[in-house]
Chains A and B, each alone.
Chain A
């Protein structure tokens, strides 16, 4: 069955997007990401360590741009200006690659998105030719505005970044999906495989996660679990769940029972 995710005109067979942060080392990063089956992989942009040994390993030697769609993020940016600057550096770093994950944060306690700065940065980036996948809150009005501006995917949080609390307001995520014509990807909050499956069963187009795999006791095994959860959730959504009923309904025929 062909069931592809299309983002900015490019198709992907995996609906799991995965981060590269918080792993023990680059070997574990590579193993977990390979196992997850993810094709879109997020990275952060930071100052190069000056004076470090020259053979210090480089993330992009393990997660290579010829194999994966690298999605640079703007994590750590608290203003539109910082986020736009970060995206421009990422584009230069990745030889003109213009797909970015925009996140402009509000404060360190919650890492909640600052929507005013997010909207401002999204506008500047889109005007500059970037394809913007935008991290946002679960407000359906904001999500629609971001779509109308020209973002290529809207990525509402399930719960706070790194919290692992799952999808706290599925009703809002559903409201966002009802109005959307671009991919809606739950980004942040997934703690375990069932959380990812729930997002996909609701009809989300994909899930972006990092900590749930990197902070699992066995990250590579959790990467495998996430791959299956995303696939199971997607198939369950496409299959269409049975209606919920308040009372029992026997699965075996009632007629013909020996008496």
Chain B
């Protein structure tokens, strides 16, 4: 299915957020994920099913003041 992830179009081969995280080689990283502007807690990434056209944001911590 096609998703928008951090502003870019991406084709997901799996179905869940965990699948997406694996596909992006981000497994084990400290992340927060929003789907269509709603935060999906880490504990639900394994079962949360994404749908065609979903808008996903994945964020992390970077240097800042």
Contacts and interface: CB of A to CB of B under 8 A. Distances in A.
Interface string A7-48: 000000000000111110000010000000000001111111
Given A43-B63, A92-B41, A211-B65, 9 more contacts: A22-B63, A44-B65, A47-B59, A48-B6, A50-B6, A60-B30, A72-B61, A93-B30, A93-B31
B63 to A, nearest CB: 4
B10 A50 contact: yes
A88 B33 CA distance: 11
Interface string B27-65: 001111110010101100000000000000111111111
B6 A43 contact: no
B1 interface: no
Nearest 9 A-B pairs (CB), nearest first? A44-B64, A19-B65, A210-B65, A54-B25, A93-B32, A92-B32, A20-B63, A43-B61, A21-B63
B6 A42 contact: no
A84 to B, nearest CB: 12
A137 interface: no
A238 interface: no
A216 interface: no
Chain B interface size, under 10 / 10 to 19 / 20 to 34 / 35 or more? 20 to 34
Contacts of A47: 6-7, 57-59
A143 interface: no
B54 to A, nearest CB: 15
Contacts of A4: none
Interface residues of A, number: 37
A221 interface: no
A211 B63 CA distance: 12
B64 A42 contact: yes
Contacts of A29: 63
B19 to A, nearest CB: 15
B64 to A, nearest CB: 3
A90 B32 CA distance: 7
Interface of A: 19-23, 29, 42-48, 50-51, 54, 58-60, 70, 72-73, 75, 85, 88-90, 92-95, 161-162, 208-211
Given A48-B6, A50-B5, A93 B60 contact: yes
B61 A89 contact: no
A90 B5 CA distance: 18
Nearest to B8: A50
Contacts of B25: 54
Given A54-B26, A92-B39, A93-B59, A43 B64 contact: yes
B34 A89 contact: yes
Contacts of A43: 61-64
A21 B6 contact: no
Contacts of B58: 47-48, 50
B10 to A, nearest CB: 7
A46 B65 contact: no
A237 B18 CA distance: 53
Contacts of A70: 61
A51 B58 CA distance: 12
